[in-house]
Amino acid sequence: MRERILKVLKETDGYISGEKISSMLGISRAAVWKHIKALREEGYEILSVTNKGYRLSAEPENISVDRIKDALDTKRIGRNIVYMSRLDSTNEEAKRRADMSDGTLFIAERQESGKGRLGRQWESPRGGGIWMSLLLKPDMPLGSVSEITLAAGLAVCRAVGCGAMIKWPNDIVVGSRKICGILTEMSAEPDTGSINYVVCGMGVNVNIKSFPEELLVKATSLFIETGEKHDRDMIAARILNEFEPVYELLCRKGFGAIREEYARMCITLDKEVRVIYRKNETTGRAVGIDENGALLVDAKEGRISVSSGEVSVRGMYGYV
């Protein structure tokens, strides 16, 4: 029915009353209103004026799976794409459909329960960003899975440009504000430790014009940085094109193969940091990244190596 209402609106030059739509389609005026509301939630701009009715003024610029696929030069990554207008979280969808093939991409216009690490929320408004997750079936030791987050960070950094840097381990920042977050989850066999699958979720703020109060100081988007709208399909494709070779290198040779470039892009190095891990907290200077992607910190207690699992690193003087 929603499609039929949309068709009527598209074919009407100017306004059409709710009453006319209801008699044309044989539904109640309340039902017309309900569908108009749902269309607005999908990003259609529909004007409503008393005594005149409704008029379609703009259509949403939705993600196009075909355009992403046309711009891909990958072998497996993103060759299969599941697109949804809205869902809870692309990571959750990928986990629910983990029987799909290696490299499948799940992408949505809007996430209603976008997830960060440690149960935190990820703001994912309709049409504002790239909310996507890759389903991966890597042949690598269990302990290396967290390095996929680092590889994805490198790919996003290369793809978005704009002076983006990596805040170890999983944030991509422009200046001192976060433009992308990455959440990697996995399922493995408890007995053998063999990996069933890995889901690597990336949230990139593309055309978000403003953030809720609590995120204003720490979040940014490509639109905010450049003052222009950006093409989400092309950026998504660029990320996937960058991700595949980095990921393949990681699987074949380990993090050591991408360490140098990662370190060059890593804004955390040479900074005083506060490290929070396993309920402990210490401060020190971040001096390097080791062969396994762990952050090396010269702390009061000597050099410590912080692995990129569940840890938080904060700059001593602000978020970065």
Q: Please tell me the count of residues contacting ligand BT5 according to CB under 6 A.
A: 29
Of the pair 9, 166, the CB lying nearest ligand BT5 is at 166
Q: Indicate whether 120 belongs to the interface with ligand BT5 (CB under 6 A).
A: yes
User: Is 184 one of the binding residues for ligand BT5 (CB under 6 A)?
Assistant: no
Report the distance separating Cα 235 and Cα 233, nearest Å: 6
Q: How far apart are CA 273 and CA 265, in angstroms?
A: 17
Question: Which one of 58-66, 115-123, 154-162, 289-297 is the stretch in contact with ligand BT5 (CB under 6 A)?
Answer: 115-123
Minimum gap (Å) between residue 152 Cβ and ligand BT5: 10
Separation CA 300–CA 156 (nearest Å): 34
- 258 sits near ligand BT5 (criterion: CB under 6 A): no
End-to-end CA distance of the chain: 49
Residue selected from 104, 111, 149, 184 as contacting ligand BT5 according to rule CB under 6 A: 111
Structure tokens at 305: 């190596």
The alpha-carbon radius of gyration of the chain (Å, integer) is 22
> Which residues does 34 contact at the CB level (< 8 Å), separation at least 6?
none
Q: Which of 252, 294, 255, 250 is nearest to 275 (CA)?
A: 294
Residue nearest to ligand BT5 (CB): 181
* Closest CB 65 distance from ligand BT5, rounded Å: 16
C-beta closer to ligand BT5: residue 90 or 104: 90
Position of tokens 């996929």?
148
| Least separation in angstroms between CB 90 and ligand BT5 | 4
Closer by beta carbon to ligand BT5, 15 or else 83: 83
Q: How far is CA 1 from CA 15, 24, 42, 79, 238, in A?
A: 19, 12, 15, 32, 36
Name the token pair of 96. Answer: 């629910």
Minimum distance from residue 131 beta carbon to ligand BT5 (Å): 4
Residue 91 makes contact with ligand BT5 by CB under 6 A: yes
Least Å distance between CB 214 and ligand BT5?
A: 7
Q: How many whole angstroms separate alpha carbon 209 and alpha carbon 100?
A: 35
DSSP 119: G
Which of 35, 110, 115, 271 is the binder for ligand BT5 (CB under 6 A)?
115
Which parts of this chain interact with ligand BT5 (CB under 6 A)?
A: 89-91, 111, 114-118, 120-124, 131-133, 170-171, 178, 181-183, 201-203, 205, 215, 219
